[in-house]
């Protein structure tokens, strides 16, 4: 596959993007990614209009997509931890049909709670979009922690 959407040499320096690459590599238990560049590891997270058109509207998520979603929420949890100094725990529930729920918990507090649907089409238009949408969730999580700090520290 040589049709990468991320230009080789793109600076992948944003904290979330770096963490996203770390989490994707962590899911790669067979070492397939060992010789891959960060761009290549991250590339399947990007769904351009052309790529999206190739994915059926209705479909079941395969293992690879599910691993990608787990990596995404793991990376968000790590970012929440880095910014708050409190342990953040992700939890994903997915049906075989690709519906479900993603949580991130800090102490007794649910700081992220997202409904998941059509996860076989999970992806982002660009690397920037991936970063800004994730950081929006992180920022909202930090606001929730500030608001209910005692529950987050319990």
Note whether 148 binds a second copy by CB under 8 A. yes
Note whether 154 binds a second copy by CB under 8 A. yes
Least separation, in Å, of the C-beta of 93 and a second copy? 6
Q: Which residues in 29-68 contact a second copy (CB under 8 A)?
A: none
How many whole angstroms separate alpha carbon 144 and alpha carbon 82?
15
Note whether 69 binds a second copy by CB under 8 A. no
Q: Is residue 135 within 8 Å of 73, Cβ to Cβ?
A: no
Note whether 4 binds a second copy by CB under 8 A. no
**What DSSP assignment string belongs to the chain?**
----SSPTT----SHHHHHHHHHHHHT-TT-TTTT--HHHHHGGGB--HHHHHHS-SS----HHHHHHHHHHHHHHHHHHHHHHSS-EEEEEEE-TTS-EEEEEEETTEEEEEEEE--GGG--BSSHHHHHHHHHHHHHHHHHHHHHTHHHHT-
Least separation, in Å, of the C-beta of 14 and a second copy? 27
Whichever of 58 and 150 has its CB closer to a second copy, that residue is 150
Site string for a second copy, 98-137 (x = CB under 8 A): ---x-x-x--xxxx-x------------------------
Least separation, in Å, of the C-beta of 50 and a second copy? 35
Binding-site ranges for a second copy (CB under 8 A): 91-93, 101, 103, 105, 108-111, 113, 144, 147-148, 150-151, 154
């Amino acid at each position: 596959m040589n049709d990468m959407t991320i230009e080789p040499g793109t600076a992948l320096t944003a904290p979330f993007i770096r963490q996203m690459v770390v989490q994707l590599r962590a899911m790669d238990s067979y070492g397939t990614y060992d010789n891959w560049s960060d761009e290549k590891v991250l590339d399947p997270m990007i769904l351009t209009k052309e790529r999206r058109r190739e994915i059926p509207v209705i479909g079941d998520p395969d293992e690879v997509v599910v691993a990608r979603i787990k990596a995404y929420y793991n990376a968000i949890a790590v970012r929440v931890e880095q910014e708050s100094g409190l342990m953040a725990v992700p939890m994903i529930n997915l049906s075989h049909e690709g519906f479900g729920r993603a949580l991130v918990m800090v102490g007794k507090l649910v700081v992220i709670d997202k409904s998941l649907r059509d996860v076989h089409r999970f992806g982002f238009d660009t690397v920037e979009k991936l970063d800004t949408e994730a950081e929006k969730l992180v920022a909202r999580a930090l606001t929730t922690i500030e608001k209910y700090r005692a529950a987050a520290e319990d």
